[in-house]
Amino acid sequence: MLRVAVVLGGTSSERQVSLNSGKVVLENLPKDRYVAKPYDPMKDLDRFIRDIRHRRIDLVFNALHGKGGEDGAIQGMLEFLGVPYTGSGIMASSIAIDKYFTKHIYREAQIPTPPSLMLNDVNQLSKISKNVGKEIVIKPLAEGSSVGVVVKPQVKDWPIIIKSLLKAHGACLVERYIDGRELTVGVLGAEALPVIEIRTKQAFFDYTAKYEDASTEELCPAPIDDRIAKEAQDMALEAHKALGCRVYSRTDIILDSEQKIWVLETNTLPGLTNASLLPKAAAAIGLSMSDLLDRIIQLSYERH
């Protein structure tokens, strides 16, 4: 029986999603193989470290989305303490959480991604039209679950939106808007999972569409040509490898009207809630939630 610490909650903007992911993990880990306990760093950090030091934990299941859990911080602490943990390591986590650095890695690996630039000063607004275009997406540099993302704002609204993001986050990413179908591809181990197409009545697949809007459709496998599906899967695998991800990830993609694929970003710690996309893709190849969690733990434990 492996003693598993499920780390959940935390203090990031994705706290509620993390609590939900952690709850699902606790409920679905096979009881005949694992003894699981929850730890919320917001209130349980001392107990968590004490239990690690007293060898009461064999492996940490990281369900801590956002800053502190997805950016290399907890990975660094666990490496220092010498305890195995699920998912990607320090380097991949710290790079992929930063959308600007991620773009550089994509381009070095010849993975097609929309033109973009990073802004840390509102006086740089003149660069946007020249380098990116008039139709843009503005994103916080290091947030998940589409927190703070603004799609196709009017030019007159750029200054106030960017000032707000700079005040809250210190920097932001401005990316060319690509009109097309929203796809996402999970990777588990060394294999890409079936492609999912997302259809939403919201402006885009934002936090509301992901977790609150019952009308959002997530079609798996996506109703696209087999050749396009294979290309999307190959791109997700390439992104996973280029960033140095391990065990599992999920890459978001836009398929434009000319059937060209654009890779937007890679999530090194995909959600594991009942509304999340990675479990839906796993289910399409016959993996239950318990099977998926077991596979994540086995792959992670082997890596360590």
Query: Any idea which residues carry the catalytic annotation?
Result: 14, 145, 211, 250, 252, 265, 267, 271
What's the CA gap between 17 and 200, in Å, rounded?
19
* Bridge partner list, 250: 186, 267
- 47: tokens are 């107990």
Handedness of CA 280, 72, 161, 264 (dihedral sign): negative
Q: Spell out the residues 6+ positions from residue 112 whose beta carbon is closer than 8 angstroms to its own.
A: 106, 235, 260, 261, 262, 263
- As a three-state string, the secondary structure of 218-258 is EECCCCCCHHHHHHHHHHHHHHHHHCCCCCEEEEEEEEECC
Count other Cβ atoms within 10 Å, centred on residue 214: 5
> If DSSP codes are grouped into helix, strand and coil, which group holds residue 103?
helix
